[in-house]
A and B are shown apart, each in its own frame.
Chain A
Amino acid sequence: MRNRIISAVLAALAVGAAVAAVVPRSAAQNQFGDADAEPAPFGPQMGALMSMVIQPRHAKLGLAGKAQNWELAAYSLKELRQGFAVVAKAVPRWKGQPVPDLFDEAVSQPITLLDFAIKLRFQKQFDEAYESLTKGCNACHATTEHAFVVIKVPEVSNFPNQEFQPKP
Protein backbone atom coordinates (compact mmCIF):
# COMPACT_ATOMS: atom_id res chain seq x y z
CA MET A 1 0.00 0.00 0.00
CA ARG A 2 2.80 2.38 1.01
CA ASN A 3 4.65 1.63 -2.25
CA ARG A 4 1.51 2.40 -4.26
CA ILE A 5 1.09 5.74 -2.50
CA ILE A 6 4.73 6.60 -3.09
CA SER A 7 4.47 5.60 -6.75
CA ALA A 8 1.34 7.74 -7.11
CA VAL A 9 3.03 10.75 -5.52
CA LEU A 10 6.11 10.33 -7.71
CA ALA A 11 3.94 10.00 -10.80
CA ALA A 12 2.10 13.19 -9.82
CA LEU A 13 5.40 14.95 -9.30
CA ALA A 14 6.61 13.79 -12.71
CA VAL A 15 3.42 14.99 -14.42
CA GLY A 16 3.62 18.31 -12.60
CA ALA A 17 7.22 18.78 -13.61
CA ALA A 18 6.47 17.81 -17.21
CA VAL A 19 3.67 20.38 -17.36
CA ALA A 20 5.94 22.97 -15.76
CA ALA A 21 8.62 22.21 -18.33
CA VAL A 22 6.38 23.12 -21.27
CA VAL A 23 4.87 26.21 -19.63
CA PRO A 24 7.41 29.05 -19.76
CA ARG A 25 8.38 30.14 -16.28
CA SER A 26 9.09 33.71 -15.33
CA ALA A 27 12.40 34.50 -13.70
CA ALA A 28 10.64 34.93 -10.37
CA GLN A 29 9.30 31.38 -10.55
CA ASN A 30 12.65 29.82 -11.34
CA GLN A 31 14.11 28.51 -8.08
CA PHE A 32 17.63 28.92 -9.47
CA GLY A 33 17.36 32.64 -10.27
CA ASP A 34 17.24 35.03 -13.20
CA ALA A 35 19.53 34.71 -16.23
CA ASP A 36 19.30 38.45 -16.81
CA ALA A 37 20.47 39.43 -13.33
CA GLU A 38 23.89 40.98 -12.81
CA PRO A 39 26.53 38.39 -11.85
CA ALA A 40 26.88 38.28 -8.06
CA PRO A 41 30.26 37.90 -6.34
CA PHE A 42 31.00 34.36 -5.17
CA GLY A 43 30.81 34.34 -1.37
CA PRO A 44 31.13 30.75 -0.19
CA GLN A 45 29.41 30.07 3.11
CA MET A 46 30.02 27.52 5.85
CA GLY A 47 29.13 24.32 4.00
CA ALA A 48 31.21 25.22 0.96
CA LEU A 49 34.15 26.51 3.01
CA MET A 50 34.24 23.36 5.13
CA SER A 51 34.32 21.19 2.00
CA MET A 52 36.83 23.35 0.14
CA VAL A 53 39.20 24.49 2.86
CA ILE A 54 38.90 22.17 5.88
CA GLN A 55 37.92 18.63 4.85
CA PRO A 56 40.70 18.14 2.25
CA ARG A 57 43.35 19.61 4.57
CA HIS A 58 42.21 17.40 7.45
CA ALA A 59 42.55 14.36 5.15
CA LYS A 60 45.98 15.40 3.84
CA LEU A 61 47.25 15.98 7.36
CA GLY A 62 46.13 12.52 8.42
CA LEU A 63 47.63 10.86 5.35
CA ALA A 64 50.93 12.71 5.77
CA GLY A 65 51.17 11.77 9.45
CA LYS A 66 50.27 8.15 8.74
CA ALA A 67 53.11 8.04 6.20
CA GLN A 68 55.44 9.75 8.70
CA ASN A 69 56.05 12.46 6.15
CA TRP A 70 56.67 15.07 8.82
CA GLU A 71 57.56 17.88 6.47
CA LEU A 72 54.27 17.48 4.62
CA ALA A 73 52.40 16.97 7.90
CA ALA A 74 53.78 20.27 9.24
CA TYR A 75 52.72 22.04 6.06
CA SER A 76 49.25 20.48 6.11
CA LEU A 77 48.79 21.42 9.77
CA LYS A 78 49.75 25.01 9.03
CA GLU A 79 47.32 25.04 6.10
CA LEU A 80 44.55 23.52 8.20
CA ARG A 81 45.05 26.05 10.98
CA GLN A 82 45.10 28.83 8.39
CA GLY A 83 41.92 27.37 6.89
CA PHE A 84 40.14 27.72 10.22
CA ALA A 85 41.28 31.34 10.41
CA VAL A 86 40.00 32.00 6.87
CA VAL A 87 36.61 30.41 7.61
CA ALA A 88 36.29 32.32 10.89
CA LYS A 89 37.01 35.58 9.08
CA ALA A 90 34.61 34.83 6.22
CA VAL A 91 31.79 33.64 8.50
CA PRO A 92 32.41 35.08 12.01
CA ARG A 93 28.91 34.10 13.11
CA TRP A 94 26.99 31.12 11.84
CA LYS A 95 23.31 30.92 12.78
CA GLY A 96 24.16 33.32 15.60
CA GLN A 97 26.98 31.19 17.01
CA PRO A 98 30.50 32.65 17.35
CA VAL A 99 32.59 30.66 14.85
CA PRO A 100 36.07 31.64 16.14
CA ASP A 101 35.03 30.55 19.64
CA LEU A 102 33.59 27.26 18.37
CA PHE A 103 36.84 26.53 16.53
CA ASP A 104 38.92 27.50 19.55
CA GLU A 105 36.94 25.17 21.77
CA ALA A 106 37.06 22.27 19.32
CA VAL A 107 40.51 22.32 17.75
CA SER A 108 43.01 24.58 19.57
CA GLN A 109 44.22 21.94 22.01
CA PRO A 110 44.54 19.10 19.46
CA ILE A 111 46.34 21.45 17.07
CA THR A 112 48.90 22.33 19.76
CA LEU A 113 49.46 18.63 20.46
CA LEU A 114 49.73 17.88 16.75
CA ASP A 115 52.28 20.63 16.32
CA PHE A 116 54.34 19.13 19.12
CA ALA A 117 54.04 15.56 17.76
CA ILE A 118 55.04 16.61 14.25
CA LYS A 119 58.08 18.59 15.41
CA LEU A 120 59.25 15.64 17.54
CA ARG A 121 58.23 13.11 14.86
CA PHE A 122 56.27 11.00 17.34
CA GLN A 123 53.91 8.72 15.46
CA LYS A 124 51.92 7.59 18.48
CA GLN A 125 51.41 11.13 19.75
CA PHE A 126 50.48 12.24 16.25
CA ASP A 127 47.85 9.49 15.97
CA GLU A 128 46.35 10.38 19.35
CA ALA A 129 46.31 14.09 18.66
CA TYR A 130 44.83 13.54 15.18
CA GLU A 131 42.11 11.38 16.69
CA SER A 132 41.45 14.14 19.20
CA LEU A 133 41.30 16.72 16.39
CA THR A 134 38.80 14.55 14.51
CA LYS A 135 36.66 14.23 17.64
CA GLY A 136 36.80 18.01 17.92
CA CYS A 137 35.37 18.29 14.40
CA ASN A 138 32.49 15.99 15.27
CA ALA A 139 31.84 17.68 18.62
CA CYS A 140 31.54 20.99 16.81
CA HIS A 141 29.23 19.44 14.20
CA ALA A 142 27.02 18.17 17.03
CA THR A 143 27.01 21.57 18.75
CA THR A 144 25.91 23.17 15.50
CA GLU A 145 23.20 20.56 14.84
CA HIS A 146 25.13 18.80 12.08
CA ALA A 147 25.86 15.58 13.97
CA PHE A 148 25.14 13.64 10.77
CA VAL A 149 28.33 15.02 9.20
CA VAL A 150 30.76 12.51 10.71
CA ILE A 151 34.48 13.02 10.14
CA LYS A 152 36.88 10.12 10.61
CA VAL A 153 40.55 9.23 10.25
CA PRO A 154 41.24 8.53 6.55
CA GLU A 155 42.47 5.03 5.81
CA VAL A 156 43.20 5.60 2.13
CA SER A 157 44.12 8.59 -0.01
CA ASN A 158 41.55 10.37 -2.12
CA PHE A 159 44.27 12.35 -3.88
CA PRO A 160 45.50 9.99 -6.60
CA ASN A 161 47.78 12.67 -8.01
CA GLN A 162 49.69 13.27 -4.76
CA GLU A 163 52.42 11.19 -3.13
CA PHE A 164 52.21 11.10 0.67
CA GLN A 165 55.21 8.89 1.32
CA PRO A 166 58.33 10.81 2.40
CA LYS A 167 61.24 10.97 -0.01
CA PRO A 168 63.69 8.17 0.79
Chain B
Amino acid sequence: MRRRAVIVVALAALAASTMMFSVRAVAQNPFGDADAEPAPFNPQMAALMSMLIQPRHAKLGLAGKAENWPLAGYMFKELRQGLVVISRAVPRWKGLPVPDLFDAAMTQPLATLDFAIKAGEPRQFAESYARLTAGCNACHGTTDHPFVVIKAPEESAFPNQDFQPKR
Protein backbone atom coordinates (compact mmCIF):
# COMPACT_ATOMS: atom_id res chain seq x y z
CA MET B 1 0.00 0.00 0.00
CA ARG B 2 2.75 2.39 1.05
CA ARG B 3 4.75 1.44 -2.05
CA ARG B 4 1.81 2.26 -4.35
CA ALA B 5 1.40 5.60 -2.67
CA VAL B 6 5.08 6.41 -3.22
CA ILE B 7 4.79 5.50 -6.91
CA VAL B 8 1.69 7.66 -7.33
CA VAL B 9 3.39 10.64 -5.66
CA ALA B 10 6.51 10.16 -7.81
CA LEU B 11 4.44 10.04 -11.02
CA ALA B 12 2.53 13.15 -9.98
CA ALA B 13 5.79 15.00 -9.28
CA LEU B 14 7.17 13.93 -12.67
CA ALA B 15 4.05 15.14 -14.47
CA ALA B 16 4.11 18.44 -12.59
CA SER B 17 7.78 19.07 -13.38
CA THR B 18 7.22 18.27 -17.08
CA MET B 19 4.36 20.76 -17.18
CA MET B 20 6.41 23.35 -15.32
CA PHE B 21 9.29 22.92 -17.76
CA SER B 22 7.14 23.44 -20.84
CA VAL B 23 5.27 26.43 -19.38
CA ARG B 24 8.46 27.94 -17.98
CA ALA B 25 10.26 27.63 -21.30
CA VAL B 26 9.65 31.20 -22.42
CA ALA B 27 7.59 33.17 -19.96
CA GLN B 28 9.43 32.24 -16.77
CA ASN B 29 13.05 32.05 -17.84
CA PRO B 30 14.73 34.65 -15.65
CA PHE B 31 17.28 35.32 -18.38
CA GLY B 32 14.75 36.18 -21.08
CA ASP B 33 13.58 34.88 -24.41
CA ALA B 34 16.00 33.61 -27.06
CA ASP B 35 13.61 34.69 -29.79
CA ALA B 36 13.32 38.30 -28.62
CA GLU B 37 14.79 41.17 -30.64
CA PRO B 38 18.30 42.12 -29.43
CA ALA B 39 18.02 45.06 -27.04
CA PRO B 40 20.54 47.93 -26.85
CA PHE B 41 23.11 47.57 -24.07
CA ASN B 42 21.92 49.88 -21.36
CA PRO B 43 24.22 49.60 -18.34
CA GLN B 44 22.91 50.87 -15.03
CA MET B 45 24.62 52.15 -11.90
CA ALA B 46 26.63 49.09 -10.81
CA ALA B 47 27.88 48.32 -14.32
CA LEU B 48 28.75 51.96 -14.96
CA MET B 49 30.62 52.19 -11.67
CA SER B 50 32.65 49.08 -12.52
CA MET B 51 33.29 50.10 -16.13
CA LEU B 52 33.92 53.83 -15.83
CA ILE B 53 34.71 54.83 -12.27
CA GLN B 54 36.59 52.06 -10.50
CA PRO B 55 39.29 51.59 -13.20
CA ARG B 56 39.77 55.33 -13.58
CA HIS B 57 40.00 55.83 -9.82
CA ALA B 58 42.69 53.12 -9.74
CA LYS B 59 44.63 54.52 -12.70
CA LEU B 60 44.51 58.01 -11.24
CA GLY B 61 45.91 56.73 -7.95
CA LEU B 62 48.66 54.75 -9.68
CA ALA B 63 49.63 57.68 -11.91
CA GLY B 64 49.79 60.05 -8.93
CA LYS B 65 51.79 57.58 -6.86
CA ALA B 66 54.30 57.34 -9.73
CA GLU B 67 54.32 61.15 -10.01
CA ASN B 68 53.34 60.77 -13.65
CA TRP B 69 51.52 64.10 -13.78
CA PRO B 70 50.54 64.11 -17.47
CA LEU B 71 48.86 60.72 -17.03
CA ALA B 72 47.35 61.77 -13.68
CA GLY B 73 45.91 64.87 -15.36
CA TYR B 74 44.40 62.75 -18.10
CA MET B 75 42.94 60.20 -15.67
CA PHE B 76 41.56 62.99 -13.51
CA LYS B 77 39.74 64.42 -16.53
CA GLU B 78 38.49 60.96 -17.51
CA LEU B 79 37.27 60.24 -13.97
CA ARG B 80 35.36 63.52 -13.77
CA GLN B 81 33.92 62.89 -17.23
CA GLY B 82 32.88 59.40 -16.09
CA LEU B 83 30.90 60.92 -13.23
CA VAL B 84 29.19 63.27 -15.69
CA VAL B 85 28.35 60.38 -18.05
CA ILE B 86 26.82 58.40 -15.19
CA SER B 87 24.84 61.40 -13.95
CA ARG B 88 23.36 61.74 -17.42
CA ALA B 89 22.66 58.04 -17.87
CA VAL B 90 21.17 57.57 -14.39
CA PRO B 91 20.09 61.00 -13.08
CA ARG B 92 18.12 59.37 -10.27
CA TRP B 93 18.99 56.13 -8.55
CA LYS B 94 16.35 54.68 -6.24
CA GLY B 95 14.91 58.19 -6.09
CA LEU B 96 18.19 59.79 -5.05
CA PRO B 97 19.61 62.65 -7.17
CA VAL B 98 22.84 61.24 -8.58
CA PRO B 99 24.44 64.54 -9.73
CA ASP B 100 23.85 65.97 -6.26
CA LEU B 101 25.31 62.90 -4.57
CA PHE B 102 28.41 63.15 -6.76
CA ASP B 103 28.63 66.88 -6.11
CA ALA B 104 28.52 66.39 -2.34
CA ALA B 105 31.02 63.54 -2.38
CA MET B 106 33.44 64.58 -5.10
CA THR B 107 33.55 68.27 -5.88
CA GLN B 108 35.87 69.31 -3.06
CA PRO B 109 38.39 66.47 -3.44
CA LEU B 110 38.36 66.91 -7.22
CA ALA B 111 39.18 70.60 -6.88
CA THR B 112 42.12 69.93 -4.59
CA LEU B 113 43.29 66.99 -6.73
CA ASP B 114 43.24 69.17 -9.83
CA PHE B 115 45.39 71.69 -8.04
CA ALA B 116 47.80 69.05 -6.67
CA ILE B 117 48.26 67.51 -10.14
CA LYS B 118 48.86 70.86 -11.80
CA ALA B 119 51.34 71.81 -9.08
CA GLY B 120 52.98 68.36 -9.25
CA GLU B 121 52.75 67.97 -5.48
CA PRO B 122 52.86 64.31 -4.38
CA ARG B 123 51.90 64.95 -0.75
CA GLN B 124 48.88 67.08 -1.63
CA PHE B 125 47.96 64.56 -4.28
CA ALA B 126 48.03 61.72 -1.74
CA GLU B 127 45.90 63.71 0.73
CA SER B 128 43.38 64.75 -1.92
CA TYR B 129 43.23 61.25 -3.33
CA ALA B 130 42.52 59.90 0.17
CA ARG B 131 39.70 62.44 0.47
CA LEU B 132 38.37 61.45 -2.94
CA THR B 133 38.38 57.80 -1.87
CA ALA B 134 36.65 58.72 1.38
CA GLY B 135 34.07 60.54 -0.77
CA CYS B 136 33.43 57.33 -2.74
CA ASN B 137 32.84 55.42 0.46
CA ALA B 138 30.69 58.16 2.01
CA CYS B 139 28.46 58.03 -1.06
CA HIS B 140 28.31 54.24 -0.87
CA GLY B 141 27.25 54.62 2.77
CA THR B 142 24.56 57.16 1.86
CA THR B 143 23.18 54.85 -0.81
CA ASP B 144 23.05 51.76 1.44
CA HIS B 145 26.14 50.20 -0.14
CA PRO B 146 28.71 50.63 2.67
CA PHE B 147 29.94 47.10 1.96
CA VAL B 148 31.48 48.36 -1.32
CA VAL B 149 34.70 49.75 0.15
CA ILE B 150 37.09 51.57 -2.17
CA LYS B 151 40.72 52.10 -1.17
CA ALA B 152 43.91 53.57 -2.56
CA PRO B 153 45.52 50.93 -4.80
CA GLU B 154 48.85 49.61 -3.60
CA GLU B 155 49.68 47.85 -6.82
CA SER B 156 48.61 47.99 -10.43
CA ALA B 157 45.71 45.93 -11.74
CA PHE B 158 46.83 46.83 -15.28
CA PRO B 159 49.89 44.72 -16.05
CA ASN B 160 49.93 45.89 -19.67
CA GLN B 161 50.22 49.56 -18.76
CA ASP B 162 53.28 51.44 -17.57
CA PHE B 163 52.47 54.10 -14.99
CA GLN B 164 56.01 55.40 -14.55
CA PRO B 165 56.68 58.80 -16.14
CA LYS B 166 58.95 58.97 -19.16
CA ARG B 167 62.50 59.81 -18.15
Q: Report A's interface with B, CB cutoff 8 A.
A: 6, 9-10, 13-14, 16-18, 20-21, 25, 27, 30-42, 44, 47-48, 51-52, 55, 58-59, 62, 134, 146-158
Contacts and interface: CB of A to CB of B under 8 A. Distances in A.
CB-based closest 6 A-B pairs: A35-B97, A17-B108, A154-B159, A33-B87, A32-B99, A148-B70
Given A30-B103, A42-B89, A59 B70 contact: no
Nearest to A11: B112
B21 interface: no
B160 interface: yes
A28 to B, nearest CB: 11
Given A27-B99, A157-B159, 5 more contacts: A10-B112, A33-B99, A42-B42, A58-B160, A147-B166
Contacts of B97: 35-36
5 contacts: A13-B111, A32-B99, A32-B106, A36-B92, A51-B51
Interface SS of B by simple majority: helix
Given A14-B108, A21-B108, A153 B90 contact: no
B78 A47 contact: yes
B99 A158 contact: no
Nearest to A134: B160
Contacts of B81: 47
B104 interface: yes
A39 B88 contact: yes
A156 B157 CA distance: 10
A62 B48 CA distance: 26
Interface string B35-49: 000001111000010
B107 A31 contact: yes
B68 A152 contact: no
Contacts of A134: 160
B108 A62 contact: no
B51 A52 contact: yes
B130 to A, nearest CB: 13
Contact of B89 (A14, A39, A55, A155): A39
B112 A31 contact: no
Contact of B98 (A20, A35, A55, A146): A35
Contacts of A58: 160
